[in-house]
Amino acid sequence: MTQRQEAGQQVASTRCPFLVEVNAQCCRLAPFRKLVPGLAIAEQDQRCSSDAWRSCAWVLQRGMPLSDRAPATPPATCPGERCPFLDEIVACSCATAPSSKLIPRTLLAVSRCLGDSHRYCEFFLERACPRRPRDAGGRDAPSDRLPLDAAAIPIPPGVALAPNHMWLDVGPDGSCHVGVDAFLARVLGAVEEVTYLSACGPGSPSLVLTVAGTTLPLVFPQPLDITGANGALRRHPDNLTSDPYGRGWLYEGRALRLPGQTGVDARTVELLRGPDTEIWMSSEVERLSRLVHTILSRRGGHLGPISADGGEVSEALAQHLERAELLEVFSLFFTGGSE
């Protein structure tokens, strides 16, 4: 289980535990509607909540009709001591963000902060799952001399795997996230660039990875209602291989519904789940080992760094393949099908 999965299980509700709510105030007449926490206003400056609001310059200049601007104070017919132009709302801020900005709670109706998607937020992951010099499987960073061991390839519970080694995580609130599994991450070893191809809306999440100078297309085999992509990977493409189930997620969205169907789109039944994923992963490692031996035979038996001790496939295999060999491996394992 990854750090992200462990942190997610500790949160009882789908709401982000780092979301802070405060009662805030703002002036409807000010040129900039800045939200100010109620407790941040000193008692002596509370003119908005007392009769002193009548002498406020904004009220005198903008709050009264032209016929009422002549008096030094607004007409006494204005009810109550509280300024009628003072808005009090519930505002939210992120306790983990570098700058705390207040946002009206009503604007967060579709935000990841109030749903299960907060588990993939960069700020949440940084606080709940601090970076460590290990990969998603709790081991040292991949090395080109470590064997690709199926038993050590992590598969988080609840995650479904596609035949091309991409994963789908459907949250309790129906939010979906897509990424590459640890098998693909360890075969690649490193990614130089991530280029997104899919726009928001219904479609199959697709992208292009640049690995060892070679562009490799990748398409999730099931359509989603795409709502966004992980922009952080443009700056830190290494997250794709160092934390494939957390910071390395690729697309987010919602499951498409078929007529007469409820819940997750029925087409996702083709994905592997539970114990089936472990059996399948072992067979994939064996299949890759056979392919690598075929590649070695073409090279005249020279092992080199593509095979670890004992003839097993080594991690970061893609970094040591020739372009044609890399395209062959990618075509057979990561474009949708298996033998």
Burial of 259 (C-beta count, 10 Å sphere; 0-12/13-18/19+) = exposed
Residue with the bigger pLDDT between 304 and 325: it is 325
Confidence at residue 172, expressed as pLDDT on a 0 to 100 scale: 87
Lowest mean pLDDT among 68-77, 235-244, 299-308, 317-326: 68-77
The answer to whether residues 56 and 68 touch, using CB atoms and an 8 Å cutoff, is no
Indicate whether 47 pLDDT > 60.
yes
DSSP state of 278: H
Tokens coding 264:
């997750």
Conformational region of residue 109, where left means phi above 0, alpha means psi within -120 to 50, and beta covers everything else: alpha
> Residues 276, 336, 247, 224: is their CA dihedral positive or negative?
negative
Residue-wise pLDDT for 150-205, tens only, equals 889 999 998 999 999 999 999 888 899 999 999 999 999 999 999 999 999 999 99
Beta carbons within 10 angstroms of residue 291's beta carbon: 18
Question: What span, in angstroms and rounded, lies between the C-alpha atoms of 36 and 193?
Answer: 41
Strands 201-203 and 175-180, by their bridges, are unpaired
Indicate whether 141 pLDDT > 60.
no
List CB contacts of 225: < 8 A, sequence separation 6 or more: 201, 202, 253, 254, 255, 256
Indicate whether 33 pLDDT > 70.
yes
Burial 261-277 (b: 16+ CB within 10 A, else e): eeebbeebeebbeeeeb
Question: What span, in angstroms and rounded, lies between the C-alpha atoms of 313 and 187?
Answer: 9
Confidence at residue 217, expressed as pLDDT on a 0 to 100 scale: 97
Question: What span, in angstroms and rounded, lies between the C-alpha atoms of 169 and 248?
Answer: 13
SS3 167: strand
**Radius of gyration (C-alpha) of the chain in whole angstroms:** 27
Confidence at residue 264, expressed as pLDDT on a 0 to 100 scale: 47
SS3 2: coil
User: pTM, whole model, 2 decimals?
Assistant: 0.76
The answer to whether residues 250 and 205 touch, using CB atoms and an 8 Å cutoff, is yes
Question: What span, in angstroms and rounded, lies between the C-alpha atoms of 166 and 180?
Answer: 4
Across residues 326-334, what is the average pLDDT? 96
Residue-wise pLDDT for 50-97, tens only, equals 778 888 888 887 755 544 444 444 444 445 577 888 888 888 888 888
Domains, the chain, ranges and CATH? 19-112 (no CATH), 134-339 (2.40.50.100)
Burial of 176 (C-beta count, 10 Å sphere; 0-12/13-18/19+) = buried
Lowest mean pLDDT among 92-106, 222-236, 299-313: 299-313
List CB contacts of 16: < 8 A, sequence separation 6 or more: 94, 112, 113, 114, 118, 121, 124
Question: What span, in angstroms and rounded, lies between the C-alpha atoms of 190 and 130?
Answer: 21
Indicate whether 247 pLDDT > 80.
yes
* Total residue length of the chain: 339
